[in-house]
Structures are given as C-alpha cells and as structure tokens.
C-alpha cells in the first residue's frame, strides 16, 4: 500500500489524507446501538420501518455492516465494541454489558439474537453476554453454525461438522410426506 501511495501524485495523497482525517473526525458511535455514524442516532436506529422487538447483538460495527448488507435482519442492532479474547489480552469494554442491559430495559424487545463470530473468541463473548442475560424474561437465540450452502461434507473440518451436527433441526413428518416433484 505504501508503494502505491508513493507512486500517486502528491495532490492525490494529500486529498486522501484529508479525506481520512475528515472521516475520522466526523464518525462516532451511535448513542443507542454503537454503530459508526455521522448522525445521532444512526440511520438504522432512526428508521421507523425497522422491526423493534428483535435486537441483534454483534461484536463490531463491521459485523453489523455485514449483516445489514446481507438483508437477513430487519430489526435493531447492538454493537458490543469488542470481544473476549484472553490470549490477546482483550475483554469487552467495561460499560459494554451495562449499555446492553440499559438498552433492553428501555426497549420493548422480545428476542435477543447473539451474533458472535464462530470461533473461540466469539464463543467466549457469547457466554459473557449470555451470563448477564440469563435471568432476563426474554427469548435468546444464537446464529447457527454449520456447513455452508454449496459446500461439501468431504471438505469440512471437524469443528464445522460438529457444529452442523449440533445445530441440526428436526424434520417435520408432514415435510417427509410431500411429493418431491412438487
């Protein structure tokens, strides 16, 4: 990247530097969800058409953006702003769980979806959040793990196969009686 920048006209690199400074100065976490925004609250929190009974909890704003771009969640989000990773010396920000509890108390949420990343740090973060939500009278769910669509069992690793087996769903007997040609 440094060589690319050095090969550009000096005016171009100055404009890029100024754009980065402006970006850094104008973006801040949303006071409601923690998403990066230049307005407060962010456009997702302000959207009157969003479903307001489901809260999807993610580790980072980057995770929020990925879910939002996929179009799989029409509710609200909550960004923890970190993860639990003892080996890297990382823990959730001190106020992260308190902000989540405060948000749940202020809203009319019926479900919290824990959308942590499918790795050890994501599991540790999941358990940290689950611990503070355990006594709350709210439905708690977690994203399923398993085989990707278009993937092959023969190429999947043990952990993925284990997760797929654990996340299996029961087939309704009415589904098995359907004509496969329909």
Ramachandran quadrant class, 150 (left: phi over 0; alpha: psi -120 to 50; beta: rest): left
pLDDT confidence of residue 121: 92
Task: Please name every residue paired with 139 in a beta bridge, in sequence order, or none if there are none.
Answer: 111
C-alpha 157/C-alpha 147 separation (Å) is 10
Reported CATH class of domain 51-147: alpha beta
pLDDT of 74 reads 94
The confidence score (pLDDT) of residue 171 equals 72
Contacts of 177 (CB under 8 A, 6+ apart): none
Position 101 scores a pLDDT of 96
Contact 98, 137 (CB under 8 A): no
Residue with tokens 């999941």: 126
pLDDT score at 182: 54
Return per-residue pLDDT of the chain as tens, 182 residues.
999 999 999 999 999 999 999 999 999 999 999 999 999 999 999 999 999 999 999 999 999 999 999 889 999 999 999 999 998 999 999 899 999 999 999 989 999 999 998 889 999 999 999 999 988 999 999 988 887 888 777 888 888 888 888 888 777 766 555 555 55
Whole-angstrom Cα distance, residue 14 to residue 174?
65
């Amino acid at each position: 990247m440094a060589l690319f920048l050095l090969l550009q006209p000096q005016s171009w690199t100055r404009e890029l530097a100024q754009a980065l400074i402006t970006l850094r100065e104008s973006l801040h976490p949303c006071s409601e969800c923690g998403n990066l925004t230049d307005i407060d609250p962010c456009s997702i929190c302000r959207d009157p058409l969003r479903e307001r009974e489901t809260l999807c909890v993610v580790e980072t704003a980057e995770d929020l953006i990925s879910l939002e771009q996929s179009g799989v969640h029409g509710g609200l989000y909550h960004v923890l702003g970190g993860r639990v990773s003892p080996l890297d010396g990382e823990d959730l920000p001190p106020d992260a769980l308190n902000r989540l509890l405060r948000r749940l108390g202020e809203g009319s949420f019926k479900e919290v979806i824990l959308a942590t990343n499918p790795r050890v740090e994501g599991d540790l973060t999941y358990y940290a959040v689950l611990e503070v939500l355990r006594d709350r009278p709210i439905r708690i769910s977690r994203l399923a793990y398993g085989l990707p669509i278009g993937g092959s069992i023969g190429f999947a690793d043990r952990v993925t196969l284990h997760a797929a087996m654990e996340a299996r769903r029961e087939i309704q007997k009415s589904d098995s009686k359907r004509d496969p040609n329909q």
